[in-house]
Amino acid sequence: MAGADGIRCMLMRGGTSKGAYFVADDVPEDPAERNDLMLRVMGSPDPTQIDGLGGAHPLTSKVAIVSRSSEPGIDVDYLFLQVVVDKPIVSDAQTCGNLLAGVGPFAIERGLIEARDGETPVRIRMLNTGDVATTRIHTPGGVVDYDGDFSIDGVPGISCAIELEIGGDSPLFPTGNVVDEIAGHRVTLIDNGMPVVLLRADEFDVSGDETPEQLESRPDLARQIEEIRLRAGALMGLGDVSAQTVPKMFLLSAPRKGGAISTRAFIPSRIHTSIGVLMAASVAAGIRIPGAVGSDLAVEAESDPTLIEHPTGAFPARVAVERRADGVWYGTSVSERTARKIFDGTVFPRPRR
């Protein structure tokens, strides 16, 4: 627990995100106490997060809490927390597929799982959503090996590939509709591991090749997107999402760099510099379904993997969708990410907010 001696913590990059990883026994069990602690650890609320571990961006202000699982057939439980940079908010309303890439290595490093010589399989329950991920971690000699020859867009250098397979048994469309209408716009509300809203970029005077900075300089655009997001959250069964970071908002346009679709993602107020793992899975599932927003813009949406273009490259999303006998659409996803241990030690939270 927190005290003068600090808390054991590992800072890791998972995919295109970075976060603080903790063993559940080392942080308060009470959600309110835990959230207060994480604000003090990350340095929120402050736009620079100068007094904590956070990196002044939603992608670097994340927390993973991991524990041995009591669920049969599951190795570890993973709780994701999004620590808002400039507000005193900690949200558990979503999961994070990027930090998920670091959960297996972290669990092995902490002795929550006994490593095998060669590869170590890990079954992970994502407590935020109830979904289960299956992965295998490279562990020659029983030690996690982060080195490799695999690269992902948005991260410099190469690392060891980590495959994540996620299968859910929840319908893809929370409203039951492939298309809904909000504020005069056709929208597709879809959740293939991450609740997202698909919109046509051209309806918002966006060409689709803008930089994140260019889009963030348009307060009128942010207001339009936020109005739709708040209404979409209620329709998707998420309740009042004004203090949440879901659903994620995607402006879709025709691909420009050989991919299937071009994306710009609001997460929700900043523009994602790339794309999250489960965000990509939801987008890739959506554009495969006839009539969904963006399906008419997509090129070779059925390809495996489906290349989802983003501001710094493309994400190879491997998804499968099926319409079952009851007419309901379901989906699964497989992705390859990388992760790296950055430091392991003790973090000293700010004494009080």
The fold adopted by the segment(s) 180-335 is Diaminopimelate Epimerase; Chain A, domain 1 (3.10.310)
Q: Residue range 341-346: average pLDDT?
A: 98
Q: Would you say residue 26 has pLDDT above 80? A: yes
Q: Chain-centre distance of CA 70, in angstroms?
A: 24
Tens digit of each residue's pLDDT (9 = 90 or more) over 79-131 = 999 999 999 999 998 899 999 999 999 999 999 999 999 999 999 999 999 99
Q: Would you say residue 69 has pLDDT above 90? A: yes
Contact 190/282 with Cβ under 8 angstroms? yes
Give the separation between CA 274 and CA 212, rounded to whole angstroms.
9
Q: Would you say residue 194 has pLDDT above 70? A: yes
| CATH number, domain 7-161+338-347 | 3.10.310.10
Q: Residue range 217-230: average pLDDT?
A: 97
- Binned at pLDDT 50, 70 and 90, residue 228 comes out as very high
Domain positions in the chain? 7-161+338-347, 180-335
Q: Is there a common fold for 7-161+338-347 and 180-335?
A: yes
CA angle (62, 65, 71) in 5-degree steps: 140
Identity at 275, one-letter amino acid code: I
- The predicted structure's pLDDT at residue 309: 97
Q: Which residues share a beta bridge with 251?
A: 199, 264
Q: Residue range 180-193: average pLDDT?
A: 97
DSSP 24: G
What percent of the chain stands above pLDDT 70?
A: 98
What percent of the chain stands above pLDDT 90?
A: 92
Taking all residues of the chain, what is their mean pLDDT, rounded to a whole number? Answer: 95
How much is the pTM? 0.80
- The predicted structure's pLDDT at residue 168: 64
Q: SS3 of 162, please?
A: strand
Tens digit of each residue's pLDDT (9 = 90 or more) over 129-175 = 999 999 999 999 999 999 999 999 999 999 999 999 987 678 999 99
Phi, psi of 10 (to 5 degrees): -125, 125
- Among candidates 339, 231, 335, 234, which has minimal Cα distance to 285? 335
